[in-house]
């Protein structure tokens, strides 16, 4: 573990220097991220200027769903952004180099790019979450507050596991097919459905987003647990699904590496 942390820190330092060297480009990307976040916050507020609730949720309730989505998505992007480079790494032969290094290839791929711009975006997200918490949890007792917040944190971490598993599944398919862009953009489109409570969607789509593409488990379940709306059965289901998806993703990754053909072959 200490060795992995050391390797990650060195790669992160290299990524930071690269982003700092291209300061104006990085500033443009960062500004775009803040503008996008700001527009979605304004969008949520604009909705509630015309309706009192959305699927039974108040403004603060819908806001916590959106902010939880942003939190899980941004944290996952910080640590596994390197997976987005797998297609290029294969085409340029870097994957061959990763496979002979004395480190887990999956860890090396995930750590290949650390996006510090997403780290900076976390500050306003966490600030807004801290601002909303008293407004939606102020009526709870200390014991119930501790339970709800603990479940929220645990399910957010569980959501990160699911995000990691989905990215590994996509990377595994990329190793086999060398085609990644379409699959990754499909995932990005699907995960964007988690910006709002899945209760607003039709029952069939809710089922799809829970068991097939577990976006609901990844970003909606933490918010429901925080609001005290998630049953014990669904809490258990969330952890079971994340375990199954992670096991399937790792198995497919190992299988893909066994069938990997070097770019030079």
Longest dimension (CA), the chain: 65
- What DSSP assignment string belongs to 171-228? HHHHHHHS--HHHHHHHHHHHGGGGS-GGGS-HHHHHIIIIIS-HIIIIIHHHHHHTT
Domain ranges, ordered by start, for the chain = 2-258
Neighbours of 214 (CB within 10 A): 26
Rounded to whole angstroms, how far apart are CA atoms 144 and 146?
Answer: 5
Quick one: pLDDT at residue 242? 94
Neighbours of 254 (CB within 10 A): 12
Helices and strands (DSSP H and E) totals, the chain: 13, 0
Structure tokens that stand for 61 in this block: 């309730």
Determine contact, residues 161/169, Cβ cutoff 8 Å: no
C-alpha of 199 from chain center: 20
Quote the pTM value.
Answer: 0.87
Structure tokens that stand for 95 in this block: 């994957």
Burial of 22 (0-12, 13-18, 19+ CB in 10 A): exposed
Quick one: pLDDT at residue 265? 53
SS3 label, residue 233: helix
Mean pLDDT in runs of 10 for the chain (265 residues)? 74 69 69 78 79 81 89 88 81 81 84 77 88 85 90 95 92 80 78 85 88 89 92 94 94 87 63
Nearest to 105 by CA among 83, 87, 78: 83
Structure tokens that stand for 71 in this block: 């939190």
Structure tokens that stand for 133 in this block: 């918490």
Helix %, strand %, coil % of the chain (to 5): 80, 0, 15
Rounded to whole angstroms, how far apart are CA atoms 198 and 216?
Answer: 6
């Amino acid at each position: 573990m200490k060795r992995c942390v050391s390797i990650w820190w060195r790669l992160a330092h290299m990524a930071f220097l690269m982003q700092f060297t291209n300061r104006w480009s990085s500033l443009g990307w960062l500004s775009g991220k803040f503008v996008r976040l700001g527009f979605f916050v304004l969008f949520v507020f604009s909705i509630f200027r015309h309706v009192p609730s959305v699927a039974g949720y108040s403004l603060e309730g819908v806001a916590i769903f959106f902010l939880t989505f942003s939190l899980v998505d941004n944290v996952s992007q910080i640590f596994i952004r390197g997976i987005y480079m797998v297609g290029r790494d294969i085409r340029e032969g870097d994957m061959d180099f990763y496979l002979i290094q004395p480190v887990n290839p999956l860890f090396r791929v995930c750590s290949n790019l650390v996006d510090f711009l997403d780290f900076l975006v976390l500050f306003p997200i966490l600030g807004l979450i801290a601002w909303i918490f008293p407004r939606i949890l102020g009526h709870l007792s200390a014991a119930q507050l501790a339970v709800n917040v603990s479940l929220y944190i645990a399910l957010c971490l569980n959501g990160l596991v699911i995000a990691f598993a989905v990215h590994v599944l996509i990377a595994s398919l990329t190793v086999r097919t060398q085609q990644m862009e379409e699959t990754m953009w499909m995932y990005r489109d699907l995960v964007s459905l988690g910006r709002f409570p899945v209760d607003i969607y039709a029952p069939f789509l809710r089922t799809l987003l829970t068991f097939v593409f577990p976006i609901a488990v990844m970003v909606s379940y933490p918010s429901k647990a925080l609001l005290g709306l998630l049953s014990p059965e669904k809490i258990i289901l969330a952890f079971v699904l994340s375990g199954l998806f992670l096991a399937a993703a790792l198995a497919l990754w190992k299988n893909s590496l066994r069938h990997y053909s070097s770019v030079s072959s």
